[in-house]
Structure formats: structure tokens, C-alpha cells
A and B are shown apart, each in its own frame.
Chain A
């Protein structure tokens, strides 16, 4: 008797749950930050000026933040960006952007060398710039980057490490940030699934 009473209710609940899951799976990520009208003058590896994000509109961008003196976590982030790239069957409308939060040491030439050493292809843009615009962009995107002086290196002020945010952003074709991931350990398939939804 009680089974008969609950069955329709349970069925309705399951149906609602299934529908919610389907809707959730198909829905596009919400806008986290709207940069569609923003303009930050940065420098590419050939020292040419780029307007971020205006110059990248029209494509979906996977955006991460690194510094090249970082021997461990930042190369892991770069490796993850490459894994997202290699996991995509079609990368024709995708760009991969790594922005340095250490413009003091990461000149265009230094980023050019990093790009070569890590065998990043032309779909990768490695950007730096004057501290002003870089800091302004980082602040807008809630990216934290702070210099620290390890005890063992205290003698030399140019040899600092940095503590920093660990984020990959997914930016749509209009310059809106639509998703955020833990950069060093997000499974590439999670980002790829969201890219498919934004296409």
C-alpha cells in the first residue's frame, strides 16, 4: 500500500532529478567576469603590443598565469595547457594564453625562450608587459602574485620566488570569462567539455 503511494512521488522526483542533470550538463557556464569592453596593452614574445582581450575575440581562449623562474608548479600548469590542447580534436578556434605575473624578469625574450624550451606551438601566446597594465589585469581577474625571499637566497634580491594563484580561465569569443579551474590539477577533459559548450 505504502509502495503504491510512494511510487508516483519517487518517479516524479527521479524524473525531476534526471531533467535537472540533463539541463545542468547542457547549460553553458555562467559569466564570471566580463572583459568584453576591457583593454590591457601587453607584450607578445616578439615584443609587439597586443590588446588583451580585444585581439583574442572571435576565438575561445584558455588563459593561465605563470612566471618562468618557477621550476615546479608553473611548468605543471603549462603541461596541463598542452594536455588540454592535445585532448581537443579540433583546435581551430582555440587560443592558449599564458600571462606572466613577473614582468620584472619575464621580458618578451625570456618568454620566447620558455615557449621554445617547452615546445609550445603558435596557438600559444605568452604575454608580459609593463607592471602597470599587468597588475591591473591581474587585479581585475583576482590573480594573486606575491614575491617571497627564500631564506637560502636572502643575499640576492633578484632571486625571489613567488606565491601565486593557481587558475586557468576559459574566455569565450566575446571576451567574457566563463569558467575557472585549478590550473595545475584540473583534468583536461573538464575544460574540453566546457569548450564544447561554448562553441
Chain B
């Protein structure tokens, strides 16, 4: 009977210990508590054929109380997704280049729009046509990963 009591006591203590440790691990994953909201809106993607490239445009509004940084992008439609910017050089030729981590200060917006910053969907896995939608996941340093569906449409 005493042995059973000891066993039950150990079981309770063990459970409490596991519960505490799993809670702390979960807190690490969620990082810091961020007040406010980071909102993604006005998203859309250009049509393109399989194997080609497309672009995604959207507005990222950092309504949180802390600066954030866009770290990585993924999409179900493309082998790779990166933040790029179009630029014009001194000879008026135009091109594109990748943009590294993009900071978004608190209470500010990052606009991804035609001819400027955009998400480049590289080497599309399938055709994406008007009426389709594409899933895009954006990983931020503070708020974690946000995923949104954007419609495919033609610029007017």
C-alpha cells in the first residue's frame, strides 16, 4: 500500500514536471508576446505558365507595437519564392534584384506593387490563370508565419 502511494506521488510529480517543461518549450516557439496585429491585404498574383515566373503583390501593415522583419517566403505554387525589387539604372534600362530581409517598422506599411517591390514566384509548379488562387506564406521575425490566399488576376 505504501509502495502504491509512493508510485502515485511520483506519477503526480512527474506529470507536473513534464507539464511545466512542455509549457516553457511552447512559449519559446511562440516567441515574445506581440501587441497589436500585422495585417496582410490587397493581395493578388499575375498569371503565368508552369515553369515560368509570377509576381505577388500585397500590402503588409505592421499594426503591432514592435518593429518586424520579413524573413522568408514560400508558396505552394512555386519551387521558390523571394522578395525582389524592380529598378531602373542610369541608362533607363530596367531589371530585378533580390531583396534581403525587409524591415517593417511598427505602425508602418510595406507596399508590394507593380514595378517596385514584389514577391517573385520562381519556376511555377503549375499554370496559374485568372480565377485561380495561390497560397503564400510569409515568415516574420516577431509575429511568426502568416499564410494568405491571393487571387490570380490581370493588372488593369
- Which residues of A pack against B, CB within 8 Å? 68-73, 75-76, 79, 83, 110, 113-114, 117-119, 144, 146, 148, 150-153, 159, 161-166, 182, 184-185
Q: For the complex formed, measure the closest distance between the CB of A69 and the CB atoms of chain B, giving whole angstroms.
A: 5
Q: For the complex formed, measure the closest distance between the CB of A160 and the CB atoms of chain B, giving whole angstroms.
A: 11
For residue A75, which residues in chain B have a CB less than 8 angstroms away from its CB? Answer: 46, 55, 114, 155
Bound CA–CA A185/B49 (angstroms): 25
Total residue contacts A-B, CB cutoff 8 A = 89
Tier of interface size on chain B? 35 or more
Known: A161-B96, A163-B94, A184-B94. A119 touches B130 (CB 8 A): yes
In the complex, the chain A residue whose C-beta lies closest to that of B55 is: A71
Q: For the complex formed, measure the closest distance between the CB of A135 and the CB atoms of chain B, giving whole angstroms.
A: 16
Bound CA–CA A27/B127 (angstroms): 47
A73 interface neighbour in B89, B115, B127, B156, Cβ under 8 Å:
B115
Interface contact A68-B52, CB-CB below 8 Å: yes
C-beta contact mask, B138-156 vs A, less than 8 Å → 1, else 0? 0000000000000000111
B155 interface neighbour in A76, A113, A162, Cβ under 8 Å:
A76
For residue A72, which residues in chain B have a CB less than 8 angstroms away from its CB? Answer: 55, 84, 86, 96, 114-115, 118, 120
Q: For the complex formed, measure the closest distance between the CB of B88 and the CB atoms of chain A, giving whole angstroms.
A: 7
Q: From A72, A152, A161, name the one whose CB has the most chain B CB atoms within 10 angstroms.
A: A72
Interface contact B93-A110, CB-CB below 8 Å: no
In the complex, the chain A residue whose C-beta lies closest to that of B97 is: A150
Interface contact A165-B154, CB-CB below 8 Å: no
